[in-house]
Amino acid sequence: MIHSLFLVNSSGDIFLEKHWKSVVSRSVCDYFFEAQERASEPENVPPVIPTPHHYLISVLRHRIYFVAVIQSEVPPLFVIEFLHRVVDTFQDYFGVCTEAAIKDNVVVVYELLEEMLDNGFPLATESNILKELIKPPTILRTVVNTITGSTNVGEQLPTGQLSVVPWRRTGVKYTNNEAYFDVVEEIDAIIDKSGSTITAEIQGVIDACVKLTGMPDLTLSFMNPRLLDDVSFHPCVRFKRWEAERILSFIPPDGNFRLLSYHVSSQNLVAIPVYVKHNITFREGSSQGRFELTLGPKQTMGKAVESVLVNSQLPRGVLNVNLNPSQGTYTFDPVTKLLSWDLGKINPQKLPSLKGSMSLQAGACKPDENPTINIQFKIQQMAISGLKVNRLDMYGEKYKPFKGIKYMTKAGKFQVRT
């Protein structure tokens, strides 16, 4: 399926190549570069590019293009999903997935890729199995390796691949047994000019960090499981049990993993935690424009709205801005015309505002588009959908684990049209 893989950095250099079948010349990437040139933005490079003899399927992550070379029919999502899995694995191994990190660990990368695909077909993509095969590089291990000459490659054979629970290593041992779950919800919303919600949906995930000895069998139940009508699970979750009882029952992978993600669709009512008052106007004939922005909390259930960041792409005609924030700092990039205002926490008593004027290109006519305002924020200890975990039970092991649940609401793609 996947014939070869090329890693291309943002300046268009191929810095790694790997072939699973016969070697494909790297000149095939010229087609990719062509498409890259045509695209105005990096993310506008089409994910699938046909060439006379091959097809190039690429993903862009961390400013690196992962270009897979395909020779015949294959579901494109299959390749895309796999490439993302590769990136996730690298991130898991090296902390970051940058060009430098990949170059520094080129041998580990190669070993990983070798295990992940066999003849272009995915073989071992579970991070727990891979970690058993190839140990992630740590500073300590690197030092030890250079001194003793031992290796990163696990001595054990990949027994995980044979087990019934391929996602979990065998013989896991911890002195502190702990299981943490983060319920993180992101609000995607479009708010129109007048402040009414055009569309709003919630994307939630439950990320887990489970460090438990042995083979624990966990069940997680919710106070209000009805909220979750559109979910996708980590393969460890027993689907039938969920269908029957709305209880998550699973033998967890070791370490960090995404237990489930869910979607509360736009058909449901979604509470919008912030409101924006804005007044952005350009006057015909004048080279000045007014800019006023005020943020306030709304439906936050008494929780503070923190880490608020406002971004807005101002029209091309704007030369510079002269603004006065009531709190926080703002920056304006005159080249990209990107205005961003980092205001921190919203104080309900004294609402943060950003007011001032914009100077336009002399003689240019009034821009007819109004900028959209993108907002990022965080609200701790609250899941905006109202989802609540009821209890977490462990079976199969004797010890008492430490359990923790954290809730957080974030802005996803939160956009206000002006």
Partner 1 sequence: MSSSSAFNDDKGGSSSIGEPEYGHDPASGGIFSSDYKRHDDLKEMLDSNKDSLKLEAMKRIVAMIARGKNASDLFPAVVKNVACKNIEVKKLVYVYLVRYAEEQQDLALLSISTFQRGLKDPNQLIRASALRVLSSIRVTIIVPIMMLAIREAASDMSPYVRKTAAHAIPKLYSLDPDQKDQLIEVIEKLLADKTTLVAGSVVMAFEEVCPERIDLIHKNYRKLCNLLIDVEEWGQVVIINMLTRYARTQFLNPNANESLLEEGTEKAFYGSDEDEGKEEKVEAAALVAKRKPYVMDPDHRLLLRNTKPLLQSRNAAVVMAVAQLYFHLAPKAEVGVIAKALVRLMRSHSEVQYVVLQNVATMSIKRRGMFEPYLKSFYIRSTDPTQIKVLKLEVLTNLANETNISTILREFQTYIKSMDKDFVAATIQAIGRCATSIGEVRDTCLNGLVQLLSNRDELVVAESVVVIKKLLQMQPERHSDIIKHMAKLTDNIQVPMARASILWLIGEYCEHIPKIAPDVLRKMAKSFTNEEDIVKLQVLNLAAKLYLTNSKQTKLLTQYVLNLAKYDQNYDIRDRARFIRQLIVPTDKSGALSKYAKKLFLALKPAPVLESPFKDRDHFQLGSLSHLLNAKAGGYQELPDWPEVAPDPSVRNVELQEVISTSRGRIGSLGGWPEVPEWTKCSSREKRKEKKVEKPFYSDSEGESGPTESADSDSDTGSGTGSGSEESGSESGSEESEGESESDKEEEEEKHKRKSKSRAKKSTQESEGSEPSSEDERKKPPKGKGPKAASDSESEEEEEEEESSSESSESESEGESESDTDTRMKQKTCASKPPPRQPKKETEMSLLDLDDFEPTPSPQVTPVNNFVSSSLVTDLEGLSLSDSALSPAAVSPASGPVKSYELLHRITGEGLSVSYCFSRQPFSHDPHMVSVQMQFTNNGDTEARNLRIQEPKLQSGMRIAEFPEIDVLPPGETVTMVMGIDFSDSTQAANFQLCTHTRKFFLTIQPPVGELMMPVFMTENEFKKEQGQLTGMNEITEKLTLGETCQGDAAIVQRVTSTASLSRVPCGSEMKCRFAGKTVTSGSLVLVTIVTREQLVAQLTVNCEKMLIGTMLVKDILQALSQ
Shortest distance in whole angstroms from residue 121 CB to partner 1:
6
By CB under 8 A, residue 38 contacts partner 1: no
Mark residues 162-201: x for contact with partner 1 by CB under 8 A, - for none: x---x---------------------x-x-x-----xx-x
Shortest distance in whole angstroms from residue 185 CB to partner 1:
12
By CB under 8 A, residue 406 contacts partner 1: no
By CB under 8 A, residue 315 contacts partner 1: yes
CA distances from 326 to 195, 307, 345 (A): 22, 15, 12
By CB under 8 A, residue 325 contacts partner 1: no
By CB under 8 A, residue 35 contacts partner 1: no
Nearer residue to partner 1 within complex by CB, 199 or 326: 199
CA 360/CA 311 separation, integer angstroms: 19
Nearer residue to partner 1 within complex by CB, 303 or 417: 417
Nearer residue to partner 1 within complex by CB, 168 or 403: 168
Nearer residue to partner 1 within complex by CB, 395 or 402: 395
Q: How many CA atoms lie within 13 A of 391 on its CB side?
A: 2
Contact positions with partner 1 (CB under 8 A) in 47-106: 47-48, 50, 55, 58-61, 70-78, 80-82, 84, 103, 106
By CB under 8 A, residue 159 contacts partner 1: yes
CA 309/CA 324 separation, integer angstroms: 16
Nearer residue to partner 1 within complex by CB, 37 or 368: 368
Residues 2/68, Cβ–Cβ less than 8 Å: yes
Shortest distance in whole angstroms from residue 320 CB to partner 1:
18
| Total of residues contacting partner 1 (CB under 8 A) | 105
Q: Which residues of 324-335 are buried (b: 16+ CB within 10 A; e: fewer)?
A: ebebeebebeee
Contact positions with partner 1 (CB under 8 A) in 202-261: 203, 229-235, 238-241, 243-246, 258, 261
Contact positions with partner 1 (CB under 8 A) in 124-143: 125
Q: Which two tokens stand for residue 188?
A: 């995607």
Shortest distance in whole angstroms from residue 175 CB to partner 1:
29
Contact positions with partner 1 (CB under 8 A) in 357-386: 365, 368-370, 372, 374
Shortest distance in whole angstroms from residue 96 CB to partner 1:
18
Shortest distance in whole angstroms from residue 359 CB to partner 1:
19
Give the interface segment with partner 1, choosing from 122-130, 177-185, 218-226, 395-403 (CB under 8 A): 122-130
Shortest distance in whole angstroms from residue 136 CB to partner 1:
14
Mark residues 257-286: x for contact with partner 1 by CB under 8 A, - for none: -x--x-x-xxx-------------------
